[in-house]
Chain A
């Protein structure tokens, strides 16, 4: 299997930052493109400019840290909840062939036991999925 594009879910949470760093490192090792996917929820529409600014900055900084040409790092704002946004990342135009997500995003930061994006993705993803633990040893 050749991994050309990695999509990583990014909501700014600690879990998402860990997942993104893992994904950027992996993209560097595989020579793959990477795209940060941010799902805009019902309320996010009002903060879109701020969200885009944060994504742009994060993509540039993480690409630099991982030693990736910034031209291979993109970001994508997607309408929807995080799960459906990442599921759609496997389809054109993003056509990701690997999804990466943190085990705990904002939704689960407070230890909320009710469902989770990572669990739902594990059940429904149609391309390979990596779930990055929120408490990594390194």
Chain B
């Protein structure tokens, strides 16, 4: 069973010519239609997320400022990120769709959820909108689960590092954050040496990879670097920041993945899910509409066991070295943190 959170295409949050546009959600929904799931799809529209749920991540003062800025007409939040008078409410609906999808999974205790909504969220910091993102939907979803005593693994395979999500849970021992991303690239965070705060050491796993990285590099990064951390952490829920801008046709980045690679990534992540009904994917980036459509179909087809068409998975001889560099940097950072801990204060 596929639970679709949304769809929330947010046509009222739109600037002509900007790559982060309503057609992205339509493309994702077309990918779902391509699977011909018939009765195996349940759409959960959700409502604007209540402010008290948003406040699990975003300070009330920030929410008030963002609402007021949008309400006064909106405008540029940074050179990349626009807002309209309706953007705050649109972003609330994105978060609400995510919460509704998670709630539905809890009831069903089965299936997979996909939140087909925009604007994306993983760059949004607790108190700052950036990188096309206003509110961090995956973070609010995770924080809501943590508030109920759950342990949440967030896997972020968007081509850009999810700096917002990492920062929000940097020192939270209830969340394990794993990201594969292009390096160097926006936003500039996500070095392998970033391993988490004092209360959550090793609960941030970054796998920065060079331009041209193929699917096998991301899979190996998740398997080999994140796998041991996931085993040690023992998640009770898995959320995915599912950007599809690592696809080779995406105009904003330089990875070389195919749609079939996303199916392989999904299979890898599915191995981390502790039991049925504990996996929810959130649409993040992805700016080539055909790539989004094909990649969403491949991802969800793989997770649901439904037939799908996909491009062949990709691999490259350089992948092993890329992953090894990340591993070596992470190991050095862990050793350094352990030494500091042994030495103690002063």
Contact = CB atoms under 8 A, between A and B. Distances in A.
Interface of A: 11, 39-45, 78-81, 84-85, 87-88, 106-107, 110, 112-115, 120
Contacts of B188: 39, 78-81, 84-85, 87-88
A79 B128 contact: no
Contacts of B65: 113-114
Contacts of A40: 186
Contacts of A43: 18-19, 79-80
B69 A114 contact: yes
Given A79-B185, A81-B131, A115-B128, A107 B78 contact: yes
B187 A80 contact: yes
A114 B128 contact: yes
B48 interface: no
B129 interface: yes
B252 A114 contact: no
A83 to B, nearest CB: 8
Given A42-B131, A43-B79, A81-B130, A114 B66 contact: yes
B252 A110 contact: no
B186 A114 contact: no
B338 interface: no
A115 B189 CA distance: 18
A114 B62 contact: yes
Interface residues of B, number: 28
B200 interface: no
Nearest to B287: A42
Contact of A79 (B76, B78, B131, B184): B184
A41 B79 CA distance: 7
Given A42-B160, A112-B77, A120-B128, 14 more contacts: A39-B188, A41-B131, A42-B80, A43-B79, A43-B80, A79-B188, A80-B187, A81-B78, A81-B187, A106-B76, A107-B76, A114-B62, A114-B128, A115-B127
- Chain A interface, >50% SS class: mixed
A42, A43, A115 — most chain B CB neighbours (10 Å) = A42
B75 interface: yes
Contact of A45 (B66, B132, B252): B252
A115 B65 CA distance: 10
A44 B80 CA distance: 8
Nearest to B68: A113
B69 A113 contact: yes
Nearest to B160: A42
Nearest to A116: B128
B105 interface: no
B197 to A, nearest CB: 13
Nearest to A106: B79
Contact of B186 (A81, A110, A113, A115): A81
Contacts of B79: 11, 41, 43-44, 106-107
B125 interface: yes
A43 B185 CA distance: 11
A54 to B, nearest CB: 14
B80 A114 contact: no
A114 B127 contact: yes
A40 B62 CA distance: 25
Contacts of A45: 252
B132 to A, nearest CB: 6
A110 B83 CA distance: 13
B19 to A, nearest CB: 8
The CB with the most chain A CB atoms within 10 A, among B19, B80, B128, B185, is that of B128
Nearest to A42: B80
